[in-house]
Each structure stands twice: as structure tokens, then as C-alpha cells.
Structure 1
Amino acid sequence: MAVPGVDKKLLCELEEMGFPEARATRALHYSGNSSVEAAINWIIDHENDADIDEMPLSAQVPVDIPIEASDPFFISEEMKLKAPEISDQVRKNREVEEKKLERSREKERIRAGKGLQVAKRMAEENERKRNVAQRKADVEEKRRARERVRQKLQQDKAERRGWLGLPVEGPLSVNPAISFSHESKNLELGKPALLTVSARKEDLMRECLRSLKRQVMGDDSQVKKAFQTLLIYVRNVANNPDDEKFRKIRLGNPAFQSRVGKFKEGVKFLELCGFEIIGGEFLYLPKDKVDMATLAEAWAVLNSAITNPYFGLFSRSVDAGD
């Protein structure tokens, strides 16, 4: 695009009056390029145009067309004096418009900022409410979990009291001294019996199993396999106390090592049941040291550990070395 051609003489006269080149060119172009008076009238009519000081563009190749005026146009002194006033007025009007536009933009920014602040406060409040609700749900879930554990422990105690021949209701003594008697050598682990066992030993058995479970936390299959294997050893001895093969375990047996032997707590549990390490090669339970009360308590502890999913999660440690 090219700048349209205008009469150079008229353009110079307008510039001498104080009008910028772009405004004078634009005025001449749009007023017909006929006279200074027509150009000044156009400027007065369009002084508030945003593009009044922009150079007009034309697709035509600029051509300087001389205008022959029959009567020369003379710029009066009044017009010369008025031209700066008009230019100054145009400038002031533009400044006023720019200030109005800037105030409008500032108001819009303020409104947008307030809207963002309100949205942010609402989002923060909603997040706070969600956090409060989540904390309440977590507390309630923990309470329900503790209640389930408490009920499970009460159920286990009731079952053990049944095994020990105690009434199901009523508080358990701290260190019960219950006489042990059985006419046969077999202990049928599905029926109640009158047994005697130290509550301290029961705690040590439980702590062995808890410690074993904590070692492999997250691998429930390995824990369950160890507990079930110990249960089989205890049950076999209880049901067959006269059979030596059930009272003798080779420490180097691969099956024993993979399931129980690799855990020192597993070996310690069997020692609490009466087994002794012989020559570093065997775990052996002498026939005269078979204690049905101890075996029954070991069976009850193992059964609780296997069936109670919360076993060992809400308990304190017991020093197994006492």
C-alpha cells in the first residue's frame, strides 16, 4: 500500500499552520484535495477520530495532481491564529478520551481481580471443608477398626477360656492357676480341657508371632505360611505325644527353613512350646516334657494370629528375653 498523493502546496500550507504531516495529508485526502479550508473543516469534524494522525494508505500509485485554482486561496491571519488552538483542542480531547479509556480498563481489572479473589476464597473454603470431612472420616474409621480389634480380642479370650475350662463370662485372672489333668495322651484341640499355663508364657508366644509378622510386613502369604506350619507342629505333638517323629525337627530341613527356620522368632516359639535345640541340628521335645497346657495355649495363640487380621497392629512389645 502507498501513501495517497495530495497537493504539495496545500500540504505545505497546512503544515505551516501547525498541523502534523499525517493529519494534514489525511485531511486533504478525505476532503477531496481541493482546498485548505475544506481540509481544516474536515479536521474539525474528525478531531476525535482515533486514527486522525495516521497516514492514509491507498492502493493507487501516488500521483501529484496539480489543482489549478481560478482564485488563489489566501490563509487569513484569523485562520493561522485558530489553527494551533484547534490542534491543541484536538490533543486535549484525545487525552480526555485516553484517560476515560484507561479508567474503564482499570475498573475492569479491579472487577476481574475481585472475581478471582472471590473464586479463590470459595475454592479454599471448599478445600477446608473437604479436609475436615476427610479427617472426621479417618477418625471414625480408626475408631471402628479399634472396636473391631477389641471385639476380636474379646472373642479370642472367650475361646481360650473355653479351652481352659473356664466359664465364658467374667474377668480373666492375670495369672490363672488351673489344674491340668487328662487321662489319655491325646489332646483333642476341638474340645475344652482343664489346663494350666503361665500368662507370661502366653505373652512371650504372642510377642514372638508379632515380631515375626513385623519383619515381613506386607507379605501376608509368608506370615500365614509360617503361622500355619507352626500350628501343624503343635497339633501333631499334641495329638501324638508318644510318636517321636512329631517331637523331632531337623533344623536343616529345607521345608522347615523356608517356612519357619529362617525366622529366629519361629524357632523361639517352638522353644516356648518345650522344644530344645540338640547339637545345633535338631529341635527336640522330650516325651517327659510334653505339656498339654502349653501346647493348647500355643494352638490358641496361633489360631488367633491366623484368623485375626489386626493381630500385632495394636499391641506393645514384650521382652522375650525375660
Structure 2
Amino acid sequence: MATSKMVLKCAKTGRLFFSTEEATEHAEAFGKDYANFDEVALDLKVWICVETGRPAYTEQDMQRLKMRDPESKTWEEKTIAYMMELQKKKDEIGRRKDRFLASVDQKKLEILSMKSHGRQRSAKALYHTKATGTVEAAEAWLAENADSPDVDKLSDEFLNGVFGGGADVAMGEAGADVEMAVVDDRKVGDPNPPEIKESINQELLKQVMEMGFSELRSEKALYKTDNVGLEYAVNWLGDHSEDADIDLPLLKPAVPKPKMSDKDAEAKLLELQRKLREKKAADAKEAEKEKERERVEYTKRMAVAQEAFKQDEAKRAIEQIQREKSEHERHKAELKETLRQDYIERFGVEPPEKEEGAEIQEKSGKDKVAFFLNKLKKTYFATDKEGLKTCLSTLKIYIKNMHENPMEPKFKTLKLDNKAFQTRVAPFDGAIDLLDALGFEKKEDCLQQRKSVPDGFLCGNATKFIDLILGQM
């Protein structure tokens, strides 16, 4: 069974609240003096502005609003029960709109909303193009209906078409918060409730009735003026003689809520503040968790992107080296052919073939490094790949140490009897030649850098070439 929702009135300001949550926020915002609330009767009169929908809780408030806002011309007299029913309908419409927005693809809704289409318009576009199910189809629908006056509206007619009729909010979900409409079965001729009669000053009632007013009207007047006096009751009857419900009995009043003491008001405020703090802390904790999840996801995406960038950079570097190598070989072949033709013109015969060693000696330092590394690769790549890999890795360490520490003597001398050198480098044809091209010369028991400062350019190229070969393995 649904639980009735209280209507609370702030004893300090007179403002009405239709939920304990609203009252709690009010007390939290303004302090303990505003934490004292009374429960109000459902038949309490209110006035609703037809033009703006704004409520006034007293006739004085209504007059003030008329003076402040010239558009507030027409006012209708209603009751708290009417306002609660109106609020229930508004809440129900809001829930239906929220349900519709949640029913479409949220990722696509976010994409369209980020393009400044608006959530409601984007949701309608996704709904109307759900058979296709693409963002492009939704955008096409938006373009086609851009001039429609209802494109941004989630009207009752539209929502009824989506959900197949009226409200479908489960009562189990809504029961705790929504005040059910009060059945008004009052009829002319019915007496006022006993609770009303008991509160009436009988002496004043007799005086009012002697002036010709009916018992029911007299009781209503005295009840509405809190039995202040005959004059007030008669004035009330004059002001309300044309009311449509003047001859209907009053509704049974709500049980008055006792006034809270200052101590109780302070205790209630502290309790309300504690609940709000707990809710804010829980919300903040959840927001922090969501923020951390987004951070971890972002970090993962960045790591993947950086790895892809590094691979692309390495690929471009290899391609650039290969282009430079091809260009160098082409230029070398052209120069060789030019020299051959020049020799033939001068001597009438083909030039003699050069010995391999002499040809190598004519190469630049960079070409020598490339030549001996290619020699190592061609000789051992297919027959001893692991040995070649160990040899190149060891050579890379020698070269890198010398390159990064050019003034350190220990990195410019390689002992020939060193076990690592004997097993990893010396057995491979071309390895010692490579070191010679990098400036090492053979002494009695070691290889020693002949230059006081090693050639950093050659060392850098050698390291780069070694990395390329290792990358191919």
C-alpha cells in the first residue's frame, strides 16, 4: 500500500514542501531556525497563476505577485490536494522522459549531443532511425526535421506512442514518493467533520447563526478565522460567499504536528545535516571512483597510442635508412661506371680488378661499418642466428660504452684474453674488422682505441645498424 507523502510548512517562512527531501535541503541551507516544520491540511487554499503557473499561499502573496509581475493577471483558487496531484503528474512525466532517454543507445546519444544537437532531439532521432541503428541515419533524420516545431519536444502524445499509452510507472517504485489523489466525496447538506465541530467556539457559533448564516457556513467561518471573533467570521463569510464550495463541508483536518522545542529542532537539524553529509560523501566517493576508472582507461589508451607511434617511428627510420643506402649504392655505382669509362678512354682497355682488401680500404668509415655488419649478417644469419645475436649485442655494449664515455680509458681498451670477448666476438669473421673501422687497433694483448676521442658519428651509426639487424631477428 502506498505511503502518504507529507506536505510540510516552514514555521519561519511559510514556504510549503512536498517532500521531506526538499524540507531537509531547506533546513540545511538556512540553519536551525528554519528546521521547524508543520504538517498542513490538504484543503488549505492556494492560488495558481494561469499565465505563469506560479503559486501563492496567501491572498496577500497573490496581491504582491500581481504588483511585481504585470503578466500575472488571472488566478485560480485551488487546494494543497490539487497541487500534490499536479506535482504527481509532473513527476510522472519526468520519469517517462527519463525512461525514454535511457532507452536509446547511450554512446550514440552522447556522440550526437556533443555535436550540439541536444539530448531530447538526439534521442528522438535515434528512436525514429532505430531500424538502421547508425549515427549517420540519425543525423540525416535531424537534418530532414530541423524545421519541425516539435523536434525538441517529448510531448505526451509522442511518449504515449513510444510506451503504448498512459503512465507505466510501477506503483512499487512510485508509491513511496507520490501522494495519491484525495477522493472528494463531499455533498451539499453533509455536516462538517467532528474534528471541525469540536474546535469551534460554541458561543461565537450561536452569535453567527443568529445573524442568519447556516450552521455549516458559520462553522467554516469560525474555523478559518481560528475563533478570533464575530467580526472576523462575518468578514470571512462576506469575502467567500461566492465560493463554489461554500456550502460543502470542510475536509477532515490533518492531525496537527506538535511544535518542536529548540532542543528538538536543533537535534533534527543535526540529523538532517548528517544525512546530507553522508549522501554527499557517498556521491563524492562514487564520483572519485568514476574519475579513477576514466583515468585508468585514458592511461591504457595513451599507452597503446604511444606504442603504435613508436612502432611507426621505427618503421619510418628503417625505411629512411634503406632509402639512404639505396641512394648511396646508386651514386657509388654511377661513380664507378664513370671512372671505368674514363679509364677505357685513356688506355683503351678495361681497368684491372681491385683486390677486396684494397677496395674496402677506400671506403669511408660509415661504409666500412655498414660493410662489416652486412658481412656478419650474410655469414651467420642463416647458420648461427643465436651466436650472431650474442655477438652483435656484445659489440653494441662495447660501442655504446665508448660513445657515452669518450674520456674513460677503460672503455677504450678491449682485452683479447677476456672470456666474453673470446667466446662472443672473436670467433665471428668481420667482428674485429668492425672494431678496427671504429678506431680500435691491435696491441700485444688488447685492442686499443687509436684516437684520444672516439668518432661519435661512427659509433652512433654502428649502434643504429646493429639495432636494425637485431630488429630483423
TM-score for the superposition, normalised by structure 2: 0.25
Report which of the two structures shows the higher radius of gyration computed on alpha carbons: 1
Q: State the TM-score, normalized to the length of structure 1.
A: 0.35
